[in-house]
Chain A
Amino acid sequence: MAVPILKQSHYLIATIQSALTDADLVQLRDALADKVGKFRSRGVIVDVTALDVLDSFASRTLRDISYMIKLRGAETVIVGIQPEVAFAMVQLGIAFEDVATALDLEEGLLYLDKKQKLGQHGSQRGF
């Protein structure tokens, strides 16, 4: 199932609705990298609230998305990681190094707004 990508002023929002196959994830990655240039977006939010499991491929793809978007000149923030998922990821040693995360969509938007104000030299993590 393809993930819908919504454009919301300067940002792109991709809300994952259900468990994704590896192919879907790759497709999401490519679509985001493509659209961020097309719409000249400043930030991307990937909402994973609906996911109960994040396997290593999904985690790596999310990290790749973050790095790719950064190279395309925008910020990425992953929002809505479930508590159980977060702890499972950490225990498996999948750390989202240098990937911004936020509690939910609202916080994610706030984070991006803040980053916009601070410019490219703002703090690396937090809000």
Chain B
Amino acid sequence: MTKEEIFAEATSVYDNYVEALETGTFEALQSYSRNLSERIIPRGVQTDEVVGIVLLLRDVLARSLFAKYQTDFRLLNRILDAYEPAANRIANTVAVGFVQERERIIREQQEAIRELSTPVLQVRERLLILPIIGVMDPQRARQLTEQLLRGIRANRARVVVIDITGVAAINSNVANHLVQTVEASRLLGATVIVTGLSPEIAQTLVNIGVDLGKMNTVGDLQGGIEEAERLLGYKVVPLTETTQQV
């Protein structure tokens, strides 16, 4: 922040503060704190810095009240009785506004990541691939299953290759979910091939006692696609070979 910005910000914080104290309404302050949060969060301002500013202002104002009314102790007491709850409420409003804004941004980002994270792609007629990268939590696994089953319906897929090369490890819940996904896909008439199992995941699957007759696994994505093509009756032939035959 530049010096001018700090000054402008401090002035508007002060103005809003005084207004809230004078009118006893907090709507304007609430919208200001939301607005302030929107502007400063992308710059990496921390919660303690924001709360710090507000609390500092609260103390400064309290000091000035002390200085002004220190001769009349009873009046000072009455003024502080009115001032302190209001000032606390202001600090509260600003802090809550800041945190809410931050949480909203986090939620938005999570949503974006989730949408990006589970593409169901058609590579050939009747063949879908589902590359999974990153951490598999139960929520993501559930979403993935939903999308896959819908994808099978929409693309009339017969074979699905789920590639989990990009997943380092999964817990037994998620492993179970994976097995269930494979079975559910079969009920829709699609065969699932799982590729790229890491040693850790293989271990987890064995630990939960997976029925290997149900799981079709191939070492890597290439092998998986080749196996899928075999199941679908495709054969990939180099161009030179075919031209020689003609």
Q: Would you call the interface of chain B mostly helix, strand, loop, or mixed?
A: helix
Within 8 A of B (CB), among A45-90: 78-79, 81, 83-87, 89-90
Q: Is there contact, CB below 8 Å, between B189 and A102?
A: yes
**A101 contacts across to B, CB distance below 8 A:** 186-189
Task: Flag the segment in B7-15, B115-123, B150-158 that touches A.
Answer: B150-158
Indicate if the CB atoms of A86 and B188 lie closer than 8 Å. Answer: yes
**B residues lining the A interface (CB < 8 Å):** 145-146, 149-150, 152-153, 156, 158, 180-181, 183-191, 231
- A95 interface residue (CB < 8 Å to B): yes
Please state if B149 and A87 are interface contacts (CB–CB under 8 Å).
yes
User: Is the beta-carbon distance between A103 and B183 smaller than 8 angstroms?
Assistant: no
- Are B150 and A83 in contact (CB-based, < 8 A)? yes
Residues of A near B149 (CB, < 8 A) are 83-84, 86-87
Query: A81-B187, A83-B184, A91-B180 known; 17 other A-B pairs, CB under 8 Å?
Result: A79-B189, A83-B146, A83-B149, A84-B149, A86-B184, A86-B185, A86-B188, A87-B146, A90-B180, A90-B183, A90-B187, A95-B183, A96-B187, A103-B153, A107-B158, A108-B189, A127-B158
Interface status of A119 (Cβ within 8 A of chain B)? no
Cβ-defined contact, B180 with A83, below 8 A: no
Write 14 A-B pairs (CB below 8 A) sorted by A numbering: A78-B187, A79-B189, A81-B188, A83-B149, A83-B153, A83-B184, A86-B184, A87-B184, A90-B187, A107-B156, A107-B189, A126-B191, A127-B158, A127-B189
Residues of A within 8 A of B180 (CB): 87, 90-91
Distance A95 CA – B190 CA, assembled complex (angstroms): 15
- Distance from B185 Cβ to chain A, minimum over Cβ atoms (Å): 8
